[in-house]
Amino acid sequence: MQRAFPWDDAIGFGLGIMHLPPSAFWAMTPRELAAAMSVVQGHRTGPPPRAALRQMLSAFPDTPCGKRVSDHG
């Protein structure tokens, strides 16, 4: 199943974040817009592999409810 193009995100990024005038935004190709977005958002390749998730879980374990950990004493 193909996903719809995220127009709201693309327009918001082009006009809001990059402050492009509408004529410049609409003149961009999808590849140009994706390249510009990757500078800000980083390259997205999908979800992390299970090994990376396990590593993150061991580095940042969840704490049981009511056992709040705080650096503020």
Mean pLDDT of 46-72: 77
Count CB neighbours of 11 within 10 A: 15
Is residue 41 scored above 80 in pLDDT? no
Q: How confident is the model at residue 69 (pLDDT cuts 50, 70, 90)?
A: low
Length of the chain (residues): 73
Q: What pTM did the predictor assign?
A: 0.51
Is residue 45 scored above 60 in pLDDT? yes
Is residue 67 scored above 70 in pLDDT? no
Mean pLDDT of 25-46: 84
What does the block give as tokens for 65?
Answer: 């409810």
Count CB neighbours of 14 within 10 A: 20
